[in-house]
């Protein structure tokens, strides 16, 4: 049991889910504190029927903290996490800043739990939301048949862009239906009744930062730099849950029936694959859930060793908050 823990970014969309999970999963600790930006300092937050005062995110706030679960922008994580670790705090970080640091394990508990046994910088990174659900799905296929190549198209909900993204969808949709103009706060184009084939900034040879995460993070988590990934990330007018169309080529052929069995045995995966009954994963039925949902499992008609499937997961939960809390539980068991 931890003597003292902290939740950083406690008032954000992911932070509020972390609080709910810590309470419902009865995570063990003796003391807890909540940290956020100066803007939120001094406000009250309720946890386990008790009111707490949010403290400002300052280095001194970690003087007596054993474990911190943090959901902040990259620049905030860059600045505060070294201050926390200098004070003996183990940090589970949701930001993207530390993920590719070779001394920082990038962890999905169902996939590479052993990675938490070596934490030289006292930082454990949680992967990008779109990477997390894809790698959970790839893990049993890789163990069975060795994944060689992945072609993935993501259809990402506006909640992945934060509260302002959700506000843009809601207000933009209302304005469009009423024939009114709306000044978008988050997206460069209207997201209502539209799709935007760009998430993040453009980087190497025309791929965006979001797309490159699917390549580099997948390789790091699975420990295999030979895996090729061709990603396309699209923002869609869906409130919550990311969906992915995934085509995998493996060294050893995996039939649809075998794949279905592998997915069904994988921890954290639920298979919904009854096409004749029109049953497959949908954002509307997967939101609020902690699992990765897989369906539309079929063999690739253009490749001998190809397998195609559809994957949906709640990006705020397994893609963020749930994975972080699961990492904390994993470390607590060591």
Residues in the chain: 334
Tokens representing residue 229 in the block: 């990934």
Instruction: For 108-149, write each residue's pLDDT tens digit.
Output: 999 999 999 989 999 999 999 999 999 999 999 999 999 999
* Residue 311: active-site member: no
The pLDDT value recorded for residue 204 is 86
Q: Which of 296, 229, 293 is nearest to 256 (CA)?
A: 296
Among 1-5, 81-85, 100-104, which stretch is predicted with the lowest mean pLDDT?
1-5
The strand ranges marked E within 132-175 are 147-156
* Contact predicate 27/89, CB 8 Å: no
Question: Considering 129, 241, 286, 311, which one is annotated as catalytic?
Answer: 129
Residue 178 binned pLDDT confidence (cut-offs 50, 70, 90) = very high
Average pLDDT over every residue of 26-52: 93
Instruction: For 49-64, write each residue's pLDDT tens digit.
Output: 999 999 999 999 999 9
Average pLDDT over every residue of 225-249: 98
3-state secondary structure of 7: strand
Architecture of domain 2-126+320-332: 3-Layer(aba) Sandwich (3.40)
Instruction: For 208-219, write each residue's pLDDT tens digit.
Output: 999 999 999 999
Residue 196 binned pLDDT confidence (cut-offs 50, 70, 90) = very high
Residue 1 binned pLDDT confidence (cut-offs 50, 70, 90) = confident
**Helix (DSSP H) and strand (DSSP E) numbers for the chain:** 9, 14
Q: Which residues contact 289 (CB under 8 A, 6 or more apart)?
A: 270, 314, 317, 318
DSSP string covering 30-42: EEEEEEE-TTTTT
Q: With a cut of 90, say whether residue 85 has pLDDT above it.
A: yes
* Residue 195: active-site member: no
3-state secondary structure of 103: coil
Q: Give residue limits of the domains in the chain.
A: 2-126+320-332, 131-315
Give the strand pairing for 55-56 and 29-36: parallel
Element (H, E) at 170: helix 163-177
* Contact predicate 54/43, CB 8 Å: yes
CA 217 to the chain's CA centroid: 12
Question: Considering 142, 242, 286, 311, which one is annotated as catalytic?
Answer: 242
Average pLDDT over every residue of 75-81: 97
Q: With a cut of 90, say whether residue 334 has pLDDT above it.
A: no
3-state secondary structure of 311: strand
Report the alpha-carbon distance of residue 61 to residue 63 in Å, rounded.
6
* Contact predicate 191/213, CB 8 Å: no
The pLDDT value recorded for residue 303 is 93
Report the alpha-carbon distance of residue 132 to residue 318 in Å, rounded.
8
Q: Under CATH, to which class is 131-315 assigned?
A: alpha beta
The pLDDT value recorded for residue 39 is 87
3-state secondary structure of 45: strand
């Amino acid at each position: 049991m931890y003597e003292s823990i902290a939740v950083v970014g406690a008032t954000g969309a992911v932070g509020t889910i972390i609080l709910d999970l810590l309470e419902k999963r009865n995570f063990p600790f003796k003391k807890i504190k909540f940290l956020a930006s100066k803007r939120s300092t001094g406000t009250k937050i309720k946890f386990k029927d008790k009111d707490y005062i949010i403290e400002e995110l300052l280095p001194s706030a970690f003087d007596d903290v054993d474990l911190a679960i943090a959901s902040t922008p990259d620049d905030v994580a860059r600045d505060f996490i070294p201050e926390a670790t200098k004070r003996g705090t183990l940090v589970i970080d949701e930001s993207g800043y530390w993920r590719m640091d070779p001394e920082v394990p990038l962890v999905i508990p169902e996939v590479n739990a052993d990675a938490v046994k070596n934490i030289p910088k006292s930082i454990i990174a949680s992967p990008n939301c779109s990477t997390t659900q894809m790698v959970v799905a790839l893990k049993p296929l890789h163990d069975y048949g060795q994944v060689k190549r992945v072609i993935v198209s993501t259809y990402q909900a506006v909640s992945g862009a934060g509260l302002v993204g959700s506000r843009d969808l809601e207000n933009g949709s209302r304005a469009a239906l009423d024939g009114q103009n709306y000044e978008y706060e988050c997206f460069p184009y209207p997201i209502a009744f539209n799709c935007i084939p760009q998430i993040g900034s453009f980087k190497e040879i025309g791929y965006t930062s979001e797309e490159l995460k699917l390549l580099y993070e997948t390789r790091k988590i699975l420990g295999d730099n030979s895996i090729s990934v061709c990603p396309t990330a699209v923002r869609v007018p869906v409130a919550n849950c990311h969906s992915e169309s995934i085509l995998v080529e493996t060294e050893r052929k995996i039939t649809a029936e075998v794949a279905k069995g592998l997915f069904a045995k994988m921890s954290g995966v639920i298979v919904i694959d009854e096409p004749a009954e029109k049953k497959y994963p949908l954002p509307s039925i997967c939101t609020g859930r902690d699992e990765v949902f897989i369906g539309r499992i079929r063999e690739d008609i253009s490749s001998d060793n190809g397998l195609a499937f559809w994957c949906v997961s709640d990006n705020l939960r397994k893609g963020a908050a749930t994975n972080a809390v699961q990492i904390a539980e994993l470390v607590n068991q060591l």
